[in-house]
């Protein structure tokens, strides 16, 4: 396969997907509603392997390789052809070829293969190492928008010298300024990483916020918003602006306590907050709980983005389970790719392939009409995100 040519996502399984549905899934333009930039500098193999391991904060030990993982196998299968290699090229061959590319060349070789027309980008984590939302769109093609991370906004205020007694009004002002940017289409909380969801979600008073901001500012070292009162304050203030709020759910690195990230613990918030759109991100292994919440609350939506990459060939089962109970108008596509552009591509390839296999089975069995399958693909691929974010 020539370098840069996009592999057919239904290679090897084309007989299992009706042709009209398959062709539509090959070409439908996606809205990636939660994604990060690609690396701006050349990385070595150790950094690459660290970057394709979501859970650990440690370097990959010398007795193993992350290429021997579901994601590693998916990279060798689907990304090798983009570099002019045969599918399943071994890890050494893949790395040697990849290392011939600079970061921009690698991005322009891989990112367009994702077939994404609009990128909604969270730049609040390690933004000095990855592309801005606008640069990602330049390298990939398409249009970009931005998500404001609430905890980062609050940390910047306190680090910048905002006095605790001024913090509530400063946070309101900073939020108002941020969301006034036409490129900003939503906010995000990483409460999963900071406290877990089992906190008091009542809206705190300004006096309570000042007290907790003062205690936080008194701590030595870099400011880290891990105070439940300050987190709840940020979420309620963001909701007051009416923009969608993204919430990391479930699967992530070991900084979070997974058992405290079950989205059912958000019920007290969901029952009382203003009904702005809430986007439950990633959700694995709580995707069925998330589907229930999306069915139960008009303002709740969800995706299974991040986990699709990390499950590799098994992601078809995850996509099928995500379709179990939730209305199809409440599901969105995302990759949650960060760093290596392989992740931006694989989110798309594996989702398209999984949707084809799952919906194709329902069409072939007579349970669904092919026209309905194509319509649902369009909803999850783009239309639901267009509605939720007002694109």
Residue at 185 is within a domain: yes
**Confidence band of 3 (pLDDT split at 50, 70, 90):** very low
- Collapsing DSSP to helix, strand or coil, 1 comes out as coil
Residue at 251 is within a domain: yes
Q: Is the pLDDT of residue 346 over 50?
A: yes
**Confidence band of 2 (pLDDT split at 50, 70, 90):** very low
Tokens of 250: 């479930």
Quick one: average pLDDT of 304-318? 95
Residue at 153 is within a domain: yes
Q: What is the dihedral of CA 301, 271, 307, 118, to 10 degrees?
A: 30
Residue 324: which residues within 8 A CB-CB, separation 6 or more?
Answer: 288, 291
Residue at 2 is within a domain: no
**CA distances, 303 to each of 61, 182, 307, 315, 337 (Å):** 32, 24, 10, 13, 14
Residue at 9 is within a domain: no
Q: Specify whether the CB–CB gap between 185 and 120 falls below 8 A.
A: yes
Q: Is the pLDDT of residue 273 over 70?
A: yes
CATH of the domain at 287: 3.20.20.140
Q: What is the pTM of this model?
A: 0.95
Q: What is the pLDDT at residue 5?
A: 52
What is the residue range of 137's domain?
14-389
Residue at 4 is within a domain: no
Residue at 6 is within a domain: no
Residue at 194 is within a domain: yes
Q: How many independent structural domains does the chain possess?
A: 1
Distance CA 228, CA 32 (A): 30
Quick one: average pLDDT of 266-286? 95
Q: What is the pLDDT at residue 22?
A: 97
Quick one: average pLDDT of 312-341? 96
């Amino acid at each position: 396969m020539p370098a840069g040519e996009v592999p057919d996502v239904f290679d090897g399984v084309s007989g299992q997907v009706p042709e009209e549905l398959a062709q539509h899934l090959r070409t439908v333009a996606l809205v990636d509603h939660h994604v990060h930039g690609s690396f701006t500098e050349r990385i070595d193999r150790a950094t690459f392997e660290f970057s394709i391991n979501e859970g650990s904060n440690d370097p990959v030990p010398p007795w193993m390789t992350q290429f021997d993982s579901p994601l590693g196998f998916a990279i060798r299968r689907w990304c090798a052809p983009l570099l002019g290699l045969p599918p399943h090229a071994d890890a050494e061959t893949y790395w040697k070829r990849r290392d011939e590319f600079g970061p921009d060349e690698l991005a322009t070789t891989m990112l367009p293969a994702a077939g994404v027309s609009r990128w909604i980008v969270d730049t609040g984590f390690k933004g000095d190492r990855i592309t801005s939302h606008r640069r990602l769109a330049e390298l990939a093609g398409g249009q970009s928008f931005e998500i404001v991370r609430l905890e980062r906004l609050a940390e910047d205020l306190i680090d910048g010298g905002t006095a605790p007694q001024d913090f509530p009004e400063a946070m309101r002002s900073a939020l108002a300024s941020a969301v006034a940017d036409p490129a900003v289409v939503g906010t995000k909380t990483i409460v999963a990483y900071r406290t877990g969801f089992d906190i008091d979600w009542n809206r705190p008073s300004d006096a309570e916020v000042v007290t907790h901001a003062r205690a936080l500012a008194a701590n030595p070292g870099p400011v880290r918003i891990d105070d439940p009162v300050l987190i709840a304050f940020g979420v309620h203030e963001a909701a007051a602006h009416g923009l969608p709020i993204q919430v990391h759910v479930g699967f992530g690195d070991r900084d979070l306590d997974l058992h405290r990230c079950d989205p059912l613990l958000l019920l007290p918030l969901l029952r009382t907050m203003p009904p702005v759109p809430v986007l439950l991100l990633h959700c694995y292994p709580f995707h069925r709980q998330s589907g229930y919440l999306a069915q139960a609350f008009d303002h709740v939506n969800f995706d299974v983005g991040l986990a699709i990459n990390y499950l590799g060939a098994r992601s078809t089962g995850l996509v099928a389970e995500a379709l179990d109970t939730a209305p199809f108008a409440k599901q969105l596509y995302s990759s949650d790719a960060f760093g290596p552009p392989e992740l931006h591509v694989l989110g798309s390839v594996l989702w398209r392939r999984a949707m084809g296999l799952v919906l194709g089975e329902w069409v072939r069995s007579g349970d669904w009409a092919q026209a309905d399958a194509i319509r649902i693909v369009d909803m999850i691929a783009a239309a639901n995100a267009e509605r939720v974010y007002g694109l």
